[in-house]
Amino acid sequence: MGLLEKLRGELVDIVEWIDHTRETLVWRFPRYQNQIKNGAQLIVRPGQTAVFVHRGKLADVFEPGHYTLTTDNLPILSTLQGWQHGFDSPFKSEVYFVSTTQVTDLKWGTPSPVMLRDPEFGPIRLRAFGTYTLKATNPRALLAELVGAEQAFEADEIQELVRSMINSALADLLGKSNIAALDLASNYQQLSAQLRESVVARVDDEYGLDLPQLLIVNIALPEEVEKALDARTSMNVLGDMGRFQQFQMGKAMTAAASNPGGGGAATGMGLGMGMAMANQMVQGAVGTYTSSPPAPVAPPPPPGAVWHIAINGQTQGPFTEAQLSAGIASGKIARDAYVWTAGMTDWLPAAQVPKLSRQAPPSPPK
């Protein structure tokens, strides 16, 4: 410290703190050799408390206001110092300013999932996060338990401690609440109030702090559980899956019929979907007239010969002779489409198979 600063420290006796950070909880007033003159001016602004510490012992506490320091308003310090009839010389004492305003926009979250037994899902892991505010309410306890001899004490120096208290209280609260995971969102306000009450009971008694606000912003399920719930929700929205599949097949068949250029591939696909839709409609009719759904059984083989069609190098089928004949008669299956059934030595065009040639429409004149 230079001579000018030393002289200023000895001659200027205005003790005050102007905080520009809004995140500092405690700040120690710098004074050359901790000497404060008799009659010095103490300015404690709104949202502050000044605490005098003499030789490691907490002395007088000043609320917001403007004070002239004398033995009249320093009774504890006067007793510790041993003054009996006032004092004229400087006295040594440390002055700590404690901010009593709220430190806002502080965040908390669970570093690891909280394991719970959910009434609907069984054992489940949950994560949670939220916000809180911090405020000093007991300067003496705060100085004695956390600050010590530090020049300044910031809010972030205690955030880790507060977060651990919140997480511990949250796990205990969720375990005792017996609220289903899907119902937690509708109880955030109630759970937030209970969580704050539990945490404040600890930080207030031990450290002289308060959490005016503590909010649960979200309690999240594991990602794989959320995906399963999304799939379940989608199925519930669709409703009857059988009717939905019939609707999808109907749309596909309409699109195939409106595309005459689709050729044999579209024909084979239309026949296959028609068989599937017929089976579904029959199953739906059975389910309509029975009190309980029939037991699943393997579908019987088609009556008569089983036929296959070769379209674009790929086989389609099996189809019954009646289905194949109907497709040829309607023109959906081309005369030159290759077909095969058991007993044939090779694939042949439909027009060359006696059983099917009579169903083929005549070829246009050349």
- Are 351 and 261 in a shared domain? yes
pLDDT in the model for residue 294 = 46
33 and 144 housed in the same domain:
no
In terms of domains, do 109 and 218 share one?
yes
Q: Would you state the pLDDT for residue 254? A: 61
> Does residue 213 have a pLDDT over 50?
yes
Quick one: average pLDDT of 3-12?
50
Higher-confidence residue of 277 and 150: namely: 150
Give the pLDDT score at 50: 94
Q: Are residue 136 and residue 45 in the same domain, yes or no?
A: no
Average model confidence (pLDDT) across the chain: 77
In a domain, 362, yes or no: no
> Domain check: are 95 and 118 in the same one?
no
Instruction: Looking at the structure, tell me whether residues 340 and 252 fall in a common domain.
Output: yes
| Cβ–Cβ < 8 Å for 162, 199 | yes
pLDDT tens digits, one per residue of 47-95: 999 999 888 788 889 999 999 888 777 888 777 776 655 666 677 788 9
Phi, psi of 147 (to 5 degrees): -80, -50
C-beta of residue 325 within 8 angstroms of C-beta of residue 304: no
Identify which of 73-77, 188-192, 238-242 has the greatest average pLDDT: 188-192
Residue 289 has pLDDT above 60, yes or no: no
Q: What is the pLDDT of residues 101-118, one digit of tens each?
A: 999 889 999 988 888 888
Average pLDDT over residues 235-260: 58
| Residue 7: inside a domain | yes
Task: With respect to residue 308, please indicate whether it lies within any of the assigned structural domains.
Answer: yes
Between 344 and 250, the more confident residue is: 344
Whether residues 245 and 342 share a domain: the answer is: yes
What was the pLDDT predicted at 226? 75
Residue whose C-alpha is closest to residue 136's, from 60, 26, 45, 57: 26
CATH number at residue 199: 3.30.479.30
Q: What is the CATH number of the domain that holds 334?
A: 3.30.1490
Q: Residue 223 — pLDDT band, cuts 50, 70, 90?
A: confident
pLDDT value, residue 298: 40
Judged against a pLDDT cut of 50, whether residue 137 lies above it is answered with: yes
Q: What pLDDT sits at residue 221?
A: 84
- Strand runs labelled E in the chain: 14-15, 24-28, 35-36, 41-44, 48-54, 57-62, 65-68, 91-92, 94-99, 103-109, 114-118, 122-136, 152-154, 209-210, 214-220, 306-311, 314-320, 338-341, 348-349
| CA–CA distance, 159 with 2 (Å, rounded to integer) | 38
Residues 109 and 188 in one domain: yes
Domain presence at residue 231: no
Tally of domains within the chain: 3
Domain that holds residue 214: 103-224
37 lies in the same domain as 84: yes
The tens digit of pLDDT for each residue in 305-332 reads: 688 888 776 777 788 888 878 887 777 7
Inside any domain, residue 130: yes
Q: What is the pLDDT of residue 34?
A: 64
Higher-scoring residue by pLDDT: 260, 63: 63
| Top-confidence range, 11-20, 211-220, 223-232 | 211-220
Higher local confidence (pLDDT), 235 or 180? 180
- 319 & 348 share domain: yes
Q: Once rounded to an integer, what is the mean pLDDT over residues 196-222?
A: 91
